[in-house]
Amino acid sequence: MALGAEGVGVENGACINSQSPTLNPSPIAPMSESSTAREHGLLEAIWIKRAHRGPMDAVLRADLKAGQGVAGSVDRSRRRQVTILSREAWADCMSALDADLDPSTRRANLLVSGVDLEQTRNRVLLVGDARLLIGGEVTPCERMEEALAGLQATMRPHWRGGVFAQVLSDASISIGDPVRWE
């Protein structure tokens, strides 16, 4: 069992390092100055949604199930099993709106850095040992506008809203795992 953002247990494969005394609301790996210049990227955050329209629980690691998605997360479909957001795209949105919302506001499962997600349909993204087939762009919904006026429109260009993917192989992933294109 893992502790989510509010200290709530998360079951079905999501867990945190039991030696970590605390877990902040959004455990995101620190971004280095050269994160956009790296050939390979990093997995910077993982979130699990326990209920439709429910809170996003930040975890340090999660299990991905082939053909299903993130274990313990709801609102998955056959095609949209995992959602992925780019740290750089989120930063561009926040800069454009002169805002500083936490990336968990986007409600994606994974936050990555150092890889460009735009126009990547049918490519395979490797996250640690997991293989994720990108199905397409995630269209920003009205929840983004509820979070911040103008956010929904700002996310539309350049696939800033992120991508959705199918899980091709079972794997456990952890914050800090390498991310790269196959």
**Residue 147 is assigned to a structural domain of this protein:** yes
What size, in residues, is the chain? 182
Q: Listing from the earlier edge strand, what are the strands of the sheet with 69-70?
A: 69-70, 61-65, 171-174
CB burial class (10 A; 0-12, 13-18, 19+) of residue 160?
buried
Q: What is the pLDDT of residues 50-68, one digit of tens each?
A: 877 778 899 999 999 999 9
Q: How far is Cα 140 from Cα 21, in angstroms, rounded to an integer?
A: 35
**Residue 28 is assigned to a structural domain of this protein:** no
Backbone angles phi, psi at 51, to 5 degrees: -145, 150
Helix H segments across the chain?
Answer: 87-96, 142-147, 151-155
CA distances (Å), 140 to each of 84, 92, 121, 154, 158, in order?
13, 15, 17, 9, 12
**Residue 33 is assigned to a structural domain of this protein:** no
Higher-scoring residue by pLDDT: 88, 33: 88
Question: What is the domain-level CATH number for residue 94?
Answer: 2.40.33.20
Look up the domain containing 110 and give its range: 2-17+40-181
**Residue 46 is assigned to a structural domain of this protein:** yes
- What pLDDT, on a 0 to 100 scale, did the predictor assign at position 74? 80
**Residue 145 is assigned to a structural domain of this protein:** yes
**Residue 35 is assigned to a structural domain of this protein:** no
Quote the mean pLDDT of the chain. Answer: 78
What H or E segment, with its residue span, contains residue 47? Answer: strand 41-49
**Residue 27 is assigned to a structural domain of this protein:** no
pLDDT confidence band for 37 (50 / 70 / 90) = very low
**Residue 110 is assigned to a structural domain of this protein:** yes
Residues 6+ apart with CB under 8 A from 146: none
- What pLDDT, on a 0 to 100 scale, did the predictor assign at position 32? 42
Say whether pLDDT at 22 is over 50.
no
CB atoms within 10 A of CB 96: 15
Name the domain count of the chain.
1
Nearest CA to 43 out of 55, 58, 57 is that of: 58
Q: What is the pLDDT of residues 109-153, one digit of tens each?
A: 999 999 999 999 999 999 999 999 999 998 877 777 777 677 777
Summarize the confidence of residues 8-21 as an average pLDDT: 32
- What pLDDT, on a 0 to 100 scale, did the predictor assign at position 75? 65
